[in-house]
Amino acid sequence: MTVHKRHLVEMITSGGQTGADRAALDWAIRNHIKHGGWCPKGRLAEDGPIDTKYNLTETPGETYLERTAKNVRASDGSVIFTMDDLLCGGSLKTVEIAIKHRKPHLHLWATLETNLAEELKGWIKKNEIQILNVAGPRASEQPEIGQFVERVLNEAFSSEKTTPR
């Protein structure tokens, strides 16, 4: 009998921007979870073209909004990470697009007084999320966001069981 590590989700998607997006993609790569998503034409990000090590598909246009909409629609649900409870810019747009397309979404912020990992796991299970879109601010807006995303993902996925298939 072969034993496989069974993950909470099958795939992590994101747009590849610095900050929350990139942290989620890096985390998926390190943890051998399939990753992908949409990025703007030219692989645009605030720090220059997004590295080709990320399995991202370019949108026809160069707008971040087009990328955000495609990632929300292509996923089963979106988790938006922020350092505080304020949603603005692309993070707010992610929520608006999720509502418009009736896609589940969850906003987690660093000062939320709850067990964030348990909240994320419960939401994933309740909504049967297999393809998880991760969104949040870019590194220039919230420099600590990358570490926050990685910490919550590590904690949420760390208690996964290895199960026979």
Domain limits of the chain? 10-160
Asked whether the beta carbons of 44 and 67 are under 8 A apart, the reply is: no
The total of other beta-carbon atoms located within 10 Å of residue 141's CB is 18
Cα–Cα distance, 148 to 125 (Å, whole number): 21
pLDDT (tens digit, 0 to 9) for every residue of the chain, 165 residues total? Answer: 444 455 789 999 999 999 999 999 999 999 999 999 999 999 999 999 999 999 999 999 999 999 999 999 999 999 999 999 999 999 999 999 999 999 999 999 999 999 999 999 999 999 999 999 999 999 999 999 999 999 999 999 986 543 333
Reported CATH class of domain 10-160: alpha beta
Alpha-carbon span 149 to 119, nearest angstrom = 14
